[in-house]
Structure 1
Amino acid sequence: MNLQQIAALLRQDQVVAYPTEAVFGLGCNPLSENAVKKLLNIKRRPIEKGLILVAPHWDFLRPFIAFEQLNAEQLSRLQQKYDRPTTWVVPAKSDTPHFLTGKFDTIAVRLCDHPSVNALCQACGFALTSTSANLTGDAPCKTADEVRLQFGEHFPVLDESVGDAQNPSEIRDLLTNRLFRQG
């Protein structure tokens, strides 16, 4: 499918697969509880784990992050460019839906400069949920064909390539710098 078709499905609260820096992600409108629950069901992922949100710039992520809880050093680290994709676990605004945060009072966010993520966010006007496109326990998909093999030939996939990153994003806690997942 092309970008316009995928963006239309996202605006209709559907779940799609799209390329990110290293693997395909499963995404939907993070403000749609119905869409997020579809995603969790497809992925077989427990709601308690929470989800990552990706966007090309902070304007898309502001509705979810409690920026007032961050000091200048943390803000600087959050906005810095890194050699590899880096997801930050940050304080969530109190009204961030639990279907995004899971059992936490934090939200995982990543600035993503992949052209497909940028174009989809611009076309839809919102950040995207991002969890690797794979069934729990299987390897993340690196091609559109792999997505179709795992999720079916009619699953909506943006037919573009993943980026050059070798591994999915590193995940760190912004407040403590604790490493949750090596990138």
Structure 2
Amino acid sequence: MMKTKILTENEIAFAAEQLKRGQLIAFPTETVYGLGADATNEEAVKQVYLAKGRPSDNPLIVHVASVEGVRPFVDEIPEKALKLMTYFWPGPLTIILKIKVNGQLSKSVTGGLDTVAFRMPNHPLTLELIEKSGTVLVGPSANSSGKPSPTMAEHVHHDLAGKICGILDGGMSQVGIESTVIDLSEPDGIPLILRPGAVTKNQLEAVIGTVAFDQHLVGENETPKAPGMKYKHYSPDTPVLMVRDGDWAEAIKAYQNKKIGLLANKIRINQFKNQFSASFMLSETGEIDEAMRQLFAGLRALDEADVDLILVEAYDNQDVELAYMNRLEKAAGKQYFETIPH
């Protein structure tokens, strides 16, 4: 088993050199920490799947340091894609494009598709890492597959210590959930959002016009175009239940004989003081941006807190709340408090 080193910003050159040698380096982004490998190195990319325990038909996002970093892999960048790159990059937006036939990317990156997802992360350490590595990097979330995504270097170390070379520590992720994914691989089709994130449908439409959500359900033997569309995601080992705003008193009462972990805003935690075993504050008063930033960290913390059940604050499914609820519903298996017999 290799020793996994926590790396500082002064060790980026070392991290880049390890990537050139085919090693795996986790890196910080504004969304979550990514597990980096040279996207043109087939063996290195295969090691990403092994380290995460991730199904090999789940495609990987390619991280670039500039718009120019995309051009070697595509015949052209469509006008709408270029507009989005100009407006939202660097930032939490991933864009799926058609790629060149027999291009340079590892076949394991694409899952056998003729499309690839590209993103330019908004974190100075990782942009410098990509540039110094002299290549582009795959960067799925740096966690064990299916578990809550990591928003701190410590989360990565918890899941992947001994399996990867190093973790570039860039502090806590500022967005806290994975990027919005939009499919622009069909030039004449309506752009489709495959995964909601911090960049919302309204924001995208303000730049390129009509955008729709993809309603297609990925089949068992079908390769998804983007991560997070097919397999179980974001789930701690402890069962998770979503609780709507008006159901908290009843939920707390229903499970009073269990050790409850409370993942909610500060007001809610104070409301039920001494009626739960552990808590983690999502936000001060219910702010969605702070709740998104804290969601995965909270799920991880309460999973380690010796509780029987985690009750989590649910939001409305609209605008930026849609991204939060997309992750929470997967973590909870779409189970709300009232749907569970008690």
**Is the TM value for this pair above 0.5?**
yes
Q: 1:10 aligned to 19, 22, 34, which one? A: 19
Q: 2:95 aligned to 88, 92, 108, which one? A: 88
- Select the structure with the greater relative contact order (CA < 8 A; seq sep ≥ 6): 1
Question: Secondary structure of the residue that 1:113 maps to in structure 2?
Answer: coil
Q: 1:75 aligned to 77, 82, 86, which one? A: 82
Aligned pair count reads 181
Report the residue type matching 2:183 in the other structure: D
Aligned to 1:130: 139
Q: Post-superposition, which runs of at least 4 consecutive aligned residues in structure 1 deviate over 4 A?
A: none
Alpha-carbon RMSD: 2.0
Q: How does 1:171-182 map to 2 (within 5 A)?
A: 171-174=181-184, 175=186, 176-182=190-196
Relative to structure 1, the CA distance from residue 4 to residue 93 in structure 2 (aligned partners, 3 Å threshold; closer, same or farther) is same
1:75 offset after TM fit, Å? 3.0
Aligned to 2:120: 111
TM-score, L = length of structure 1: 0.89
Relative to structure 1, the CA distance from residue 39 to residue 75 in structure 2 (aligned partners, 3 Å threshold; closer, same or farther) is same
Aligned to 1:165: 175
TM-score, L = length of structure 2: 0.50
Q: 2:46 aligned to 33, 37, 40, which one? A: 37
Instruction: Describe the superposition over 1:110-153 as per-residue Cα deviations: whole angstroms up to 9, x where unpaired.
Output: 12231022110111111111100111110111111111111126
Measure, in 2, the Cα distance between the counterparts of 1:163 and 1:55: 18
Q: 2:72 aligned to 63, 68, 86, which one? A: 63
1:43 offset after TM fit, Å? 1.4
Question: Secondary structure of the residue that 2:38 maps to in structure 1?
Answer: coil
Measure, in 1, the Cα distance between the counterparts of 2:122 and 2:90: 12
Gaps of 5+ in 2: 1-6, 198-342
1:78 offset after TM fit, Å? 3.9
Question: Secondary structure of the residue that 1:147 maps to in structure 2?
Answer: helix
Relative to structure 1, the CA distance from residue 20 to residue 153 in structure 2 (aligned partners, 3 Å threshold; closer, same or farther) is same
Question: Secondary structure of the residue that 2:96 maps to in structure 1?
Answer: strand
Question: Secondary structure of the residue that 1:136 maps to in structure 2?
Answer: coil
Q: Is the 2:142–2:156 Cα contact (8 Å) retained in structure 1?
A: yes
State yes or no: 1:143 paired with 2:141: no
Q: Is the 2:89–2:120 Cα contact (8 Å) retained in structure 1?
A: no
Measure, in 2, the Cα distance between the counterparts of 1:166 and 1:127: 23
Question: Secondary structure of the residue that 2:27 maps to in structure 1?
Answer: strand
Is the radius of gyration larger for structure 1 or structure 2?
2
Report the residue type matching 1:170 in the other structure: T
Higher mean C-alpha deviation, range 4-13 or range 26-35: 4-13
Higher mean C-alpha deviation, range 171-180 or range 143-152: 171-180
1:177 offset after TM fit, Å? 1.7
Higher mean C-alpha deviation, range 79-88 or range 4-13: 79-88
Higher mean C-alpha deviation, range 109-118 or range 162-171: 162-171
Measure, in 1, the Cα distance between the counterparts of 2:71 and 2:118: 10
Instruction: Describe the superposition over 1:43-72 as per-residue Cα deviations: whole angstroms up to 9, x where unpaired.
Output: 12222222101112022222222316x3x3
Higher mean C-alpha deviation, range 23-32 or range 91-100: 91-100
